[in-house]
Chain A
C-alpha cells in the first residue's frame, strides 16, 4: 500500500527512471563516444542544471524566468575569474606592459588588477562566490519583485531585461570583464591542466555526479510540504496567503534555488569548455534554457535533463547543416510543445506508459491507482 502515511522517498518507478539516467550518464555516454563528443555532452549537461531549476521555479512554482542565463553566466564568470588569474602569472604574461594581470586588461591599458578581482585569487573564495553571488543577486531581484507582488508576465519581462542589461554591461566594460570575447584562454586549476583529454573525462564525471546529486536534492524538495505549496501557489496564490503563508518568501526561496543550480551549471561550463562569455548570459540563451525545460516537460526533473540533451544534440546536428533554419526550427518546436504537449516529453511518456501499466496492474492486486493518477505525482 502506498498511502501518504507510508510514502517512501521515491516510488519504484521513480527509482528505475533515475537509475536509467544514471547509467546513461555514467556508463553509456562515456563508453560510446570519443572524448571530444563526450565533452560536448558534458557541456549540454551544464544547461540541465538550469533546466531542472526551471522545473522547480516555473513548472511547479509558476514563476517564469526568462533570465536564467544571468545566473548561469555569473556562476561561470566567478570561476573563470579565478582560472584567468591563475593563467596570468607574471611569468606567463611577461611580454605585457603590466605583467601579472589578465591579458585583456593589459590590452585595455589597465595597469592594476581591479579591486573586485583581487579576492578571486583564492579558489575557496571563488567557489563560494560561484554559488553565493548569483544566489544573492537572484534574492535581490526576487525580494524587490515578489514583496511588491509583481508576478507573471511582468516578472518574466523584468528578468529578460536584466539579462539584456547585464550583457550590455559585460560587453561595455571590456577592461574589467573581457568584453564580448569573454574570459578566454583558461588553462589550469591549481596547476592541474584542464585542457587535456584526461581532465575533460574527470570533469565530465564531476559534472554528471553533481547533476545526479542536484536531481536527488530537487526530488526531495518537491516531496516535502514545500513542494506542494509551490503547486498550490501556482494555481491559488491568494488561498496560500489565507492559509497563513508568506507567499513572497516561498517565491524568493525557489527563485534563489533555481539561480544557485544555474550557477553550478555555469561554473561547470567554464571548467569543461574553457571559457565564459556574454553570449551565455543574454536573452537568447535564457529563452533557449526555458525551451529545454519545456520540451523535456516542465513538471519533470528527469524530463528536463532529456529535453536539454535532445534539443542541444539537435541544435548541434542541424546548425552544422542548415544554420539559418535552426532558430526557426527552435521557435517552431517551442510553439508546438506549448500548444500540443504542455507537459513535454515527460507528458508524452506518461500517456504512453499509463495504458501499459494499467494492463500490467490488471493482473496484480489493486494498488494505489488513484494516487498515481494525480497529475503531479506521476511525472515528478
Chain B
C-alpha cells in the first residue's frame, strides 16, 4: 500500500483527480493543510474549487488520488462516515432545513443520536439545549431560535448553516463562499464570526471577495482549470503575474 502520509499535516490531498465524461474538473491536485490553518482557495468560475470540497467530503467520488485526514483515508468512506471523522462542509447556496425552526436545525446537527434508534431515544437534555443556545448566540440568531428557518434572510441562512457545522465541532471546517450574497455589514460580522469559530480547528474557505480573503487567510491556493496555479501568502499571490492574469486582473 502506498501510504506516504506526512504526519505533521492535518489534511493531506495527494494526486486528487476527477473527470466528468473525460473532462478533468480536478487534475492531479496535491496540497497540504496544517493544524489550525485557515486556507483560502480562490480562482475563476469553473476552476474546480467546489469540486475539490465535494471530493474531500465524499459528495463526488475521486477517479484517482487520496485524501488523508489525520490518519484516515477519506475517499473510501461514505459521506456520513466522513462527517463523523470530524469534517464539516458548508455549501455554496445555503443548505438548511427550511421547514424546521432554527432550534430544530441545530438540534438535528447536534452530534449524538445519529442512528435510527439513537434518534428515537434522543433526549433534549439541559446540556443539549445549552449548547444550541450558545451556538445560536455565536451566529447572531439567539432571538430567532423558534422561527421557521425558511423565513430568515439570506445572510442569516448562511450563518445558520455555519452554526449547524459548528455544533458538530469539526476539526476541519470547509466553507464554500460564506459571504456570497451578504450585505457589507453582514460581511463584517461574518469575518468576526470566522475569527472566533476558527480557533482550534483548520478551515478551508472558498471565496471571491478579496478584501474578505486578505482579512482571514493564512495561506492562499489559486486554482485554475483543476490545477494549482500558485500557493502561498496573500502578498505573494497578489504579486504573482500569472494569478493577476487569470484571476485578479478581472
Interface positions of A (Cβ within 8 A of B): 3-5, 221, 224-226, 228-229, 231-232, 234-236, 238-247, 249-250, 253, 368, 370-371, 373-376
Complex contact B97–A4 (CB within 8 A): no
Complex contact A238–B148 (CB within 8 A): no
Give the complex CA separation of A333 and B141 in angstroms: 43
**Interfacial chain A residues near B116, Cβ < 8 Å:** 226, 249-250, 253
Complex contact B119–A229 (CB within 8 A): yes
Complex contact B97–A232 (CB within 8 A): yes
Complex contact B129–A5 (CB within 8 A): yes
Digitize B121-146: 1 where CB-to-A-CB distance is under 8 Å, 0 elsewhere: 11010000100000000000000001
**Interfacial chain A residues near B199, Cβ < 8 Å:** none
Complex contact B108–A240 (CB within 8 A): yes
Q: How far is the CB of B59 from chain A (nearest CB, A)?
A: 7
**Interfacial chain A residues near B146, Cβ < 8 Å:** 3-4, 368, 370-371
B96 at interface by CB-CB < 8 Å: yes
Give the complex CA separation of A129 and B189 in angstroms: 60
Complex contact A228–B104 (CB within 8 A): yes
What are 5 inter-chain pairs, A to B, with CB distance below 8 A?
A: A225-B113, A236-B95, A240-B108, A242-B88, A249-B115
**Interfacial chain B residues near A370, Cβ < 8 Å:** 146-147
**Interfacial chain A residues near B84, Cβ < 8 Å:** 244
Complex contact A371–B97 (CB within 8 A): no
Give the complex CA separation of A240 and B109 in angstroms: 8
Q: How far is the CB of B174 from chain A (nearest CB, A)?
A: 10
B180 at interface by CB-CB < 8 Å: no
**Interfacial chain A residues near B88, Cβ < 8 Å:** 242
In chain A, what residue has the closest Cβ to B95? Answer: A239
B34 at interface by CB-CB < 8 Å: no
Complex contact B57–A242 (CB within 8 A): yes
Q: A238-B59, A239-B95, A242-B89 are in contact. Are A221 and B120 (CB under 8 A)?
A: yes
Q: How far is the CB of B76 from chain A (nearest CB, A)?
A: 16
**Interfacial chain B residues near A239, Cβ < 8 Å:** 91, 95-97, 164
Q: How far is the CB of A82 from chain B (nearest CB, A)?
A: 31
**Interfacial chain A residues near B92, Cβ < 8 Å:** none
Interface residues on chain B, size class: 35 or more
Give the complex CA separation of A333 and B84 in angstroms: 46
**Interfacial chain A residues near B120, Cβ < 8 Å:** 221, 224-226
Give the complex CA separation of A242 and B97 in angstroms: 12
Complex contact A376–B99 (CB within 8 A): yes
**Interfacial chain A residues near B83, Cβ < 8 Å:** 241-244
**Interfacial chain A residues near B111, Cβ < 8 Å:** 244
**Interfacial chain B residues near A368, Cβ < 8 Å:** 146
**Interfacial chain A residues near B79, Cβ < 8 Å:** 241-242
**Interfacial chain A residues near B214, Cβ < 8 Å:** none
Give the complex CA separation of A244 and B108 in angstroms: 10
**Interfacial chain B residues near A241, Cβ < 8 Å:** 79-80, 83
**Interfacial chain B residues near A250, Cβ < 8 Å:** 116, 119
Complex contact B80–A246 (CB within 8 A): yes
Q: How far is the CB of B164 from chain A (nearest CB, A)?
A: 7
Complex contact B108–A243 (CB within 8 A): yes
Complex contact B101–A374 (CB within 8 A): yes
Give the complex CA separation of A238 and B109 in angstroms: 13
Complex contact B168–A4 (CB within 8 A): no
**Interfacial chain B residues near A375, Cβ < 8 Å:** 99, 148
Query: What 9 A-B pairs come out closest when comparing CB atoms?
Result: A244-B83, A225-B122, A226-B119, A241-B79, A232-B97, A225-B119, A253-B116, A239-B95, A226-B120
Complex contact A236–B57 (CB within 8 A): no
B242 at interface by CB-CB < 8 Å: no
B78 at interface by CB-CB < 8 Å: yes
| Residues B151-174 near A (CB distance < 8 A) | 164, 168
Complex contact A228–B107 (CB within 8 A): yes
Give the complex CA separation of A241 and B11 in angstroms: 21
**Interfacial chain B residues near A4, Cβ < 8 Å:** 103-104, 124, 129, 146
Give the complex CA separation of A223 and B2 in angstroms: 49
Which of A5, A226, A244, A247 lies at the interface centre, i.e. has the most chain B CB atoms within 10 A of its CB?
A244
Give the complex CA separation of A240 and B114 in angstroms: 10
Q: How far is the CB of B32 from chain A (nearest CB, A)?
A: 23
Known A224-B121, A243-B168, A374-B101; 11 more pairs at CB < 8 Å:
A4-B129, A224-B122, A225-B113, A231-B99, A232-B100, A236-B98, A240-B108, A242-B79, A245-B80, A374-B100, A375-B99
Which of B80, B115, B148 lies at the interface centre, i.e. has the most chain A CB atoms within 10 A of its CB?
B80
Complex contact B95–A238 (CB within 8 A): yes
**Interfacial chain B residues near A234, Cβ < 8 Å:** 99
**Interfacial chain A residues near B168, Cβ < 8 Å:** 243-244
Complex contact A374–B124 (CB within 8 A): no
Q: How far is the CB of B152 from chain A (nearest CB, A)?
A: 13
Give the complex CA separation of A376 and B104 in angstroms: 12
Give the complex CA separation of A235 and B97 in angstroms: 7
